[in-house]
Amino acid sequence: MELKLDLTKEYGIVLEGGGAKGAYQIGAWKALREAGVRIKGIAGASVGSLNGALICMDDLEKAEDIWKNIEYSRVMDVSDETIKALKKKDFKALNMQEILNSGFQFIKDGGFDVTPLKNLIAEVVGDESSIRESDRELFAVTYSVSEHKELAVDVKSGEEGSVKDMLLASAYFLAFKNEKLGGKRYRDGGGFNNVPLGVLLDKGYEDIIVIRIYGWGFDSEKVTKIPEGANVYHIAPRQDLGGILEFDKKQSRKNMTLGYYDAKRFLYGLAGRIYYIDAPGSEPYYFDKMMSELELLKIYVEEDLDQETRESLNGYRMFTETLFPRMAVEFKLKDDWNYRDLYIAILEDLAKRLKINRFQIYTVDRLIGKIMMKLHSLDSRIPL
């Protein structure tokens, strides 16, 4: 595979807010780190600022451990068993008196008690030295309720002991009990600037990677003007990452894996919407491959064309004039699709139907091999 990113440059990383979806960012960072991408600074909102602290410290092991073992009770003062029972609608397992008491306390306090989140931030930051001594910049976006303005805090330059407070200030979600920090009140930065790309652009960064997780808040990237000469790249999920308050370790581990492979797609220009396919080669190459693998196309001929059409068309015309255009529509390819696009879509469709593991980087020939093995084991019957 050929790396598509220039490793001689230093990059800024923008981490969107999105609560529990933040595990995706750690998976993406792992892939960037493995590839040798040099990170100069990070700007984060909400959970993005917490992950930013981990990236600033270059502590991947701690980051993975936190997200692999995340639970609701590590963020809010709630019972994991109660939350899981509510999600499963297992009302028999619920202590209704406990729920009522928790509800009354929530109303009285004006939100969830986030003492566990404070403890988690303290665990991340430690004595602050790893952040303050890092050669990477770290900016956390928050909103000062006391001053009625958005702030992009240079975390490393704050007063001694302020790092934890500024990270918490950035993550003060509306559903959380709000307490004063240093005599002031803050709210989640994501509500006002959830994709703080402008923060790094204002600091003079010219090469920036934005890791999207599509969380709650104002998508400030839509109104951010990209100056001439700046290069902005994106790593983003193509499937739902779950809820912003879904602090479930099973979902979190899945999101980390997804982030890792999506970053690989970005780094190496991998093909595929669902799968991760190393597919160099020209359009004629993939047309020839399709026509030489008629065993695969036969499945679609039988599915998509009626008998009269099959009998009336001979040779390539049946494929190029009738079957391929129909398949392109079915696969929702762009209007300017080519035979490479179609061939990859066919492989993905078959692999998905055959339940072939998607979290792996495949060459075209290797994925075909997997598909053929499965087909032969099923006696060429494809699950619809």
Distance CA 117, CA 111 (A): 13
Paired tokens of 312 = 């009336």
Under the phi-then-psi rule, with left for phi > 0, alpha for psi from -120 to 50, and beta for the rest, what region is 328?
alpha
SS3 (DSSP) at 95: coil
Phi, psi of 138 (to 5 degrees): -140, 120
Question: Annotated catalytic residue: which of 188, 207, 262, 278?
Answer: 188
- At which residue do the structure tokens 């979902």 appear? 251
Amino acid at 217: G
Does 46 qualify as catalytic in the annotation? yes
The single residue of 46, 49, 220, 252 carrying the catalytic annotation is: 46
Helix axes 163-170, 47-57, angle to 10 degrees: 140
Helix axes 23-35 and 47-57, enclosed angle (nearest 10): 30
End-to-end CA distance of the chain: 33
Hey, which residues does 181 pair with through a beta bridge?
184
Residue by residue, DSSP assigns 20-75 as GGGHHHHHHHHHHHHHT-EEEEEEEETHHHHHHHHHHHT-HHHHHHHHHT--GGGT
Burial 171-202 (b: 16+ CB within 10 A, else e): bbbeebbbbebeeebbbbbbbbbbbbbbbbbe
d(CA 196, CA 85): 36
Local structure of 313: helix, strand or coil: coil
DSSP string, 316-378: HHIIIIIIHHHHHHHTT--TT--HHHHHHHHHHHHHHHTT---SSEEEHHHHHHHHHHHHHHT
- Could you confirm whether 129 is annotated as catalytic? no
* Tokens linked to 263: 């970053």
Instruction: Please give the positions annotated as active site.
Output: 46, 188
